[in-house]
Chain A
Amino acid sequence: MAKVLDNPRPTIKERAAKLGGQVQGSQAWNSIFRPGSIFRKGYTDSPRNRSYVVMNSVLYHLHPVKVKRHAVKVSYTLCLGGLSFFLFILLTVTGIFLMFFYRPTAANAWQDIQMLQTSVTFGLLVRNMHRWGAHLMVLSVFLHMARVFYHGAYKPPREFNWVIGVVLLTLTLLLSFTGYLLPWDQLALWAVAVGTNMMGYTPVFGNQVRFVLLGGVEIGSETLLRWYVLHVLMLPFVIVIFMAIHFWRVRKDGGISGPL
């Protein structure tokens, strides 16, 4: 009896604490959660650990360890560039979800969207988010451009990054426009008909441009497949490359512009 009292069985709380200590002290844990991680035992809020948080994260090290004080103010950037990037990620995630339920053929496309909205769990919600997110991204990229212009942030040494920004704006519009056709409803078909007719008036090789874009002389199943591939693969691929250069150059050109 006395023996039991001397050495009582550990409570669940104590066992959990011990287990937690063992896990967090293990080599595997420490090799994943580097110094400075909030998951690591003993995080203290020191300048060193604040630097580690950024340096040891594949996501955060897009940023430098330190940024100019005025750049942190929301009233300077309005977060527009960051939100454009965030919306792009959101659109990628929702877009991948939509791809599971969609076949880019004239016979199936519209029915698939209809099925997605009526029979797939959260299908309607995800499609709505993809559509409104796309419009929002066009808007935020456009506003980002206006913000950059009004702050004179396109001036040396950032003039080339501005050029890349204009390319990104164009790519955003193209991404949105190629996605517009995919539901294959009356709105999509005739909006794209109007748009591609305009492109047909390109001087010298207008007809060729139109033919390549439509995959024929008129909009049809080939157009749908072509724009689908452009929308889900080629344009995202290209825009990611340009985004990488855009973000890299922000840092190479000495961080964000300003203060005014």
Chain B
Amino acid sequence: MTEIPEHLLKRAQAARQKAAGTGSADSAGSGERIPDALLDRTRAAGTSEKAAAVVAAGASAGLPVGAGPGGHTQRLLTVVKSGSIQEAKAAPVDKVHTWPHLLAVEFVAALACTAFLFVFSWVVNAPLLQAADFNKTPNPSKAPWYFLGLQELLTMFHPMIAGVTLPGMGLIALILAPYLDRNPSNKPEDRKFMTSMMTMFLMFWAVLVIIGSFFRGPGFNFIFPWRDGIYFEL
């Protein structure tokens, strides 16, 4: 059962007191505004309340059948709060102000990132090799590091599979992930399968990139970086 809010109860109380006050004043002073018959009925109802037999008293005073205590023909059944008829979807969420809680964190993160990049760029120079020369093919020729996994696949498959089909399928699988995974939970313990699938997917590419970056030397042959040196430029 819905609890009636306190302020509504108070308002009802005040209204009742006011009605009682004016009612007595009316009966005493301004009798001309209210017909006598009605005043009689009110008085009769007032006495019948004490008599406890409401319907009988009402009938004896000529009241409509079914009138409530006090002679009212209407009753307040219940107060319906807006939340119970409007479907409220939003459950209360524990929130904090963006300023300063989030913006301060972002500011520090951006500052730390800038500082790291600044110091790193101060210490380590970006590579600039000899000017491009079509007649001198460096050995090995390597793609940028994020494509070295694909270049590694090239050693195993036909270029159409390694360069287009496999990465294309990977990309499509990524795009379709939310539509294939119908498990609504985001709890790690409920989604061990997807977690392990993604981990395998990421590890697959990471291992290929690492092999392509550090374990491939002249002629893109397999080497050990600690034995034959590193053939890798960022």
Contact = CB atoms under 8 A, between A and B. Distances in A.
B146 A170 contact: no
Contacts of B95: 66-69
Contacts of B128: 110, 113-114, 117, 183, 185
Given A110-B131, A150-B188, A166 B97 contact: no
B106 A162 contact: no
A83 B181 CA distance: 28
B105 A79 contact: yes
A162 B177 contact: yes
B200 to A, nearest CB: 12
B contacts with A: majority SS:
helix
B198 A150 contact: yes
A66 B178 contact: no
A184 interface: yes
B34 interface: no
A198 B142 CA distance: 12
Contacts of B124: 128, 132
Contacts of B118: 129
Contacts, number: 211
- The interface size bin for chain B is 35 or more
Interface in B128-172: 128-134, 136-138, 141-147, 150-151, 154, 158-160, 162-164, 171
- The interface size bin for chain A is 35 or more
Contacts of B181: 154-155
B184 A83 contact: no
B186 A195 contact: no
7 contacts: A74-B105, A74-B109, A83-B109, A110-B128, A136-B117, A155-B184, A173-B146
